[in-house]
Structures are given as structure tokens and as C-alpha cells.
């Protein structure tokens, strides 16, 4: 028995219909994809990969890259996907911390990564954006006759590193049970079936694209339009063949900016899902007005996969992330006790989706994962009177000014309603009198003409004095990571001397 392989990959042996529909027009049947998975597993075993070994992967999104994930699962190895934007210096940390047996990279990066891999005793093979490479060559000599290694629910399937916006990245250890249980719940909750065609434009080095989008599609027996990345025109061209789209908020804002994205284009669509970063209520409402579809927003983390979701059948409430998933417990804690509706506190979750701990960081694990299974997420939130969960912000982003707590999200919502303001990010900066001062970074709508003073004046009567930004700047864009999350740590670093 191999928990994850048996659920996601073994059933492909019976599928002679297309599993992956490719951007350039080709396709790959389920059987052909499984053969690729098995050949890669044989090739990886031949170079010494054993059960429990880590396989670090920093490659372009391709069918071959997805097949390596399946091969790692089948081998009983631990899949370790790395953001393709990481530099060799950053990769050095991951190889030193995770101590993988093998690393895969694009041939164009092999020269830069070879000394890094050698320093940590890691074998280096290549897998390129066109599917070629030394791993593919080795796999071509294999016959595809592969029997998966036994792996149970509590065995490790993957290590995903957190984004590392504060301190060093932490490797979240995810088990077969973590990944399978979450996919099983989401297939049922979001009504995925064999009839679904998922338009897959997310990266697969992140939990959203790999463990939500791919796992849900594989488990439900549907198909994926497997795009190398998000480009609005390409997505619009493929939407007529799709039934579902999972994306980050920037997907939806860019589609709304394109006049080709019309109600008629998506009339046949069943579901749009957003996550990885907060979806502005304005975007949610604009999308509904344009298309007639209400985006389903959910809430997850690297350490837990998905925790909550707005309902498939029922009100998808803008500005909320819905309700805890079946089997997942969620509580809001303040001063050591669970609080009631409309009270902000720290969100904690417990369930089969919650990770096993941080790789080689027992102290950090003990800080954030309680002995009784409750995980302290670091997210501040509340439940409203109807039970919908609202995310207020990260605890590390809380601003304490003059002894008062200011939740950035509350200020951002008010700023975003000012005519001419597209979006905002509120941070705390060192201040000689108040300890920290509220500071706003503002992005204007295209063509809007409004000054910082005018924006601040517009919110003056809507916020308590201590919540009002003491200063602000206007930027063309907010800095974001690959998944669309605003990098407030970069803003704090850039403007840290503003009040000195």
C-alpha cells in the first residue's frame, strides 16, 4: 500500500483518455502519464534515491515535472519543490537544511548550482522546460515496470518551505495523510468529478498549484489544461474548454482588465476559486458583476493545505474565507482562551491536514504546534455572527502604536474605498514618540489623480485617530511574492527610517 500513489496515480492505468491538455495543443493520456511517472521512478532509483530520501526540484512547470512528483511519491521519497526564482545562494540554504539525495534543475542553471550541490554532497540531474535533460534520458532507457514502495498515512510525502518573510524559511513536513485527506475533502466540497476540466495556470512548486489544484484533479479523475504559467490572453483562449479555474487574486484582476473577458466567455464555467493571498471585496464584486460568477475564496497555509472554504452551495461572502472544512477544527484565541464572534484573536487549527512539524527545527515546532494537535497559524482573525471566518492579518504585521493595537486590514479596507485608490498596504514603522506609527503604501487606479494628503483626509472621519496613517506614499505597484502575497517585510525595510 502507498497511500498517496494508490489514490492519485495508480488509477491512471485505466485511463486511455487525455489527462493533460497542453498549451501548444498536444495532450497526454492518463496511461502515458503513468508510464512517465514509473520510468522516472526507475531512473531515480537507479541513481540511488531510497525511501525517505529528499528530492529537491527547481524546474519549469511541465508534465515531466509533475511526473517527478508522482515518481517521488511512488518511491517513498520526500518531494521538495523549490521556487524557480530562488538564487543559488538561496538554494544553498535549502540543500544544507534538507540534505536531499538529489537535485533537479534546468540545464541553464546547472553550472551555477553544481558547486552548491557538490558542497552538500547532492547529486545533480537536469530536467528542462522542453522535457529534455539527463533525467529524461535515463528514464527513456527504463521499461516503466515499477512497483510502488509501501508507504502509510503517517509517512512523509513532501517538505515545503515557508516563504521566509521573517527569518529563515522553515521546512513544513507533510505526510501522505495530510495531502490525501485534504484532497478528498476538497473534491467533495467543491463538487469535482470526472467531467471537470481544470484550467491549471498556477506554479507547481507551491501548495496551491501542486497539492490543491493537481491533487484535486487527479483524485476526481478529471482533466487539466496544463499551462506553463498565467498569461491573460492564453487563459482566455483556453477558458471555453474549461469548467473550473483556480487562481491567486492577480489572476482575476488581470482578467477583469481584459475586454475579451466577458460574461458570454465564462457562461459555461462551473467554478472559480481564489486563494494564496486576500481577495479584495471590490474584486469579488466586480467579478460577479462582469461574469455572474461569485469567486469561491478559501484559506490555507503551507503547513496545513486548506483550512476553510466558502460554500459551493450557499452564500460566498466577499471579504471572508468561509467555514472550516469538514474534519478541520478552527478556534480564535486571545489571552489563552477561545473568544466569541466578532472578537479578533489568533487563529488555531487542528485536523488531518495539519503538518507533522518543521524539518530539523524541534524548538520551532514546539512553539507553533501544540502537543494536542492545535497549530498556531500566526494569522489574526475572527468569526462573524454567521460563523464566516475573516482573516485580519498576520500577527507579525500587527501595529502597536502608543499602546494601541491596529489591525492593518481594517485600515486597508477603509483606504481601498477612497475613490481613485486601487489597493493599499498598511505597515508599522519605528516612531520616536509612539513606538510604531501607522504608515500606508497606496496604489492608484489607472488614470486617477489624487494626492497622499487627499487620501488621508478622506479616511480621517472614518478611523479612530490612533488608527489613522501618520504618513503615506503612492507607488505604481505593491511588492508581491510569486503567489501574489504583499511582501510587507520589504516595505518595512524600505521605509523604516521615515519617522527618524
Give the tens place of pLDDT for each residue, 412-470: 989 999 999 999 999 999 887 777 889 999 999 999 999 999 999 999 988 888 889 99
CATH 3.40.50.12780 domain extents, the chain: 3-152, 197-394
Residue among 442, 448, 437, 430 nearest 401 (CA): 437
What integer is the mean pLDDT of 206-218? Answer: 96
| Residue 396 reports pLDDT greater than 90 | no
> Does an H or E element contain 283, and which?
helix 281-291
248 and 275 in contact (C-beta within 8 Å)? yes
3-state secondary structure of 174: strand
Q: Model confidence at 28, in pLDDT bands (50, 70, 90)?
A: very high
The second-level CATH assignment, the architecture, of 3-152 is 3-Layer(aba) Sandwich (3.40)
The neighbour count for residue 473, using CB atoms within 10 Å, is 13
Name the pairing type of β-strands 337-338 and 329-334: antiparallel
Strand ranges in 227-285 using DSSP code E only, listed in sequence order: 244-247, 271-274
CATH 3.30.300.30 domain extents, the chain: 398-494
Task: Tell me which CATH code domain 398-494 carries.
Answer: 3.30.300.30
Please tell me the chain's helix, strand, coil percentages from 3-state DSSP, rounded to the nearest 5: 35, 25, 40
Give the tens place of pLDDT for each residue, 34-46: 999 999 999 999 9
User: How many Å apart are CA 374 and CA 348, to the nearest integer?
Assistant: 6
End-to-end CA distance of the chain: 62
Cell numbers linked to 420: 481613485
Give the tens place of pLDDT for each residue, 6-17: 999 999 999 999
| Residue 165 reports pLDDT greater than 70 | no
Give the tens place of pLDDT for each residue, 72-115: 999 999 999 998 888 898 899 999 999 999 999 999 999 999 99
Alpha carbon 343 to its chain centroid, in Å, reads: 27
Q: Model confidence at 163, in pLDDT bands (50, 70, 90)?
A: low
290 and 257 in contact (C-beta within 8 Å)? no
User: How many Å apart are CA 500 and CA 497, to the nearest integer?
Assistant: 5
Residue 481: what pLDDT?
Answer: 83
Alpha carbon 179 to its chain centroid, in Å, reads: 14
User: How many Å apart are CA 255 and CA 261, to the nearest integer?
Assistant: 6
Residue among 278, 273, 237 nearest 258 (CA): 237
Rounded to the nearest integer, the mean pLDDT of the chain is: 94
* Domain 197-394 CATH class label: alpha beta
466 and 480 in contact (C-beta within 8 Å)? no
> Does an H or E element contain 246, and which?
strand 244-247
Q: Which residues, in sequence order, are CB contacts of 334 under 8 Å at separation 6+?
A: 343, 344, 345, 346
Amino acid at each position: 500500500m502507498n497511500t498517496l500513489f494508490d489514490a492519485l496515480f495508480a488509477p491512471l492505468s485505466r485511463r486511455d483518455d487525455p489527462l493533460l491538455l497542453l498549451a501548444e495543443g498536444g495532450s497526454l493520456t492518463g496511461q502515458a502519464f503513468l508510464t512517465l511517472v514509473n520510468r522516472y521512478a526507475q531512473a531515480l532509483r537507479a541513481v540511488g534515491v531510497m525511501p525517505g530520501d529528499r528530492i529537491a526540484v527547481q524546474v519549469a512547470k511541465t508534465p515531466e515535472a509533475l511526473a517527478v512528483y508522482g515518481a517521488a511519491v511512488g518511491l517513498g521519497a520526500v518531494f521538495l519543490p523549490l521556487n524557480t526564482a530562488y538564487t543559488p545562494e538561496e538554494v544553498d540554504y535549502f540543500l544544507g537544511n534538507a540534505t536531499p539525495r538529489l537535485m533537479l534543475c534546468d540545464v541553464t542553471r546547472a553550472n551555477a548550482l553544481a558547486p552548491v550541490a557538490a558542497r552538500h554532497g547532492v547529486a545533480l540531474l537536469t530536467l528542462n522546460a522542453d522535457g529534455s535533460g539527463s533525467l529524461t534520458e535515463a528514464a527513456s532507457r527504463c521499461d516503466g515496470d515499477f512497483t510502488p514502495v509501501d508507504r502509510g498515512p503517517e509517512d512523509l510525502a513532501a517538505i515545503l518551505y515557508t516563504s521566509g518573510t521573517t527569518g529563515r524559511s522553515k521546512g513544513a513536513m507533510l505526510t501522505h495523510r495530510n495531502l490525501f485527506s485534504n484532497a478528498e475533502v476538497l473534491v467533495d466540497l467543491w463538487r469535482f468529478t470526472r467531467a471537470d476540466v481544470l484550467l491549471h495556470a498556477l506554479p507547481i512548486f507551491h501548495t496551491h498549484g501542486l497539492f490543491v489544484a493537481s491533487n484535486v484533479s487527479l483524485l476526481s479523475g478529471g482533466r487539466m489544461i496544463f499551462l506553463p504559467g498565467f498569461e491573460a490572453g492564453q487563459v482566455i483562449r483556453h477558458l471555453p474548454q474549461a469548467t473550473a479555474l483556480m487562481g491567486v487574486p492577480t489572476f482575476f484582476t488581470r482578467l477583469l482588465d481584459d475586454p475579451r473577458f466577458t460574461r458570454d466567455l465564462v457562461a459555461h464555467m462551473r467554478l472559480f476559486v481564489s486563494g494564496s493571498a486576500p481577495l479584495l471585496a471590490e474584486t469579488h464584486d466586480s467579478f460577479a458583476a462582469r461574469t455572474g460568477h461569485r469567486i469561491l475564496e478559501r484559506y490555507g497555509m503551507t503547513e496545513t493545505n486548506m483550512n476553510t472554504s466558502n460554500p459551493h452551495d450557499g452564500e460566498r461572502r466577499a471579504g471572508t474565507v468561509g467555514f472550516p472544512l469538514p474534519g478541520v477544527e478552527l478556534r480564535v484565541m486571545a489571552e489563552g482562551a477561545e473568544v466569541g464572534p466578532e472578537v479578533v484573536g489568533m487563529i488555531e487549527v487542528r485536523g488531518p491536514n495539519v503538518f507533522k512539524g518543521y524539518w530539523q527545527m524541534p524548538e520551532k515546532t514546539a512553539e507553533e504546534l501544540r502537543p494536542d494537535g492545535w497549530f498556531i497559524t500566526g494569522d489574526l482573525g475572527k468569526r462573524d455572527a454567521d460563523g464566516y471566518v475573516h482573516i485580519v492579518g498576520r500577527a507579525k504585521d500587527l501595529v502597536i502604536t502608543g499602546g494601541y493595537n491596529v489591525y492593518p486590514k481594517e485600515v486597508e479596507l477603509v483606504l481601498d474605498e477612497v475613490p481613485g485608490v486601487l489597493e493599499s498596504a498598511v505597515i508599522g514603522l519605528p516612531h520616536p514618540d509612539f513606538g510604531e506609527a501607522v504608515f500606508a503604501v497606496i496604489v492608484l487606479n489607472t488614470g486617477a489623480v489624487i494626492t497622499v494628503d487627499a487620501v488621508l483626509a478622506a479616511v480621517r472621519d472614518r478611523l479612530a485617530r490612533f488608527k489613522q496613517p501618520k504618513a503615506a506614499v503612492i507607488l505604481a505597484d505593491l511588492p508581491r511574492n510569486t503567489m501574489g502575497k504583499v511582501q510587507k517585510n520589504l516595505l518595512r525595510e524600505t521605509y523604516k527610517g521615515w519617522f527618524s
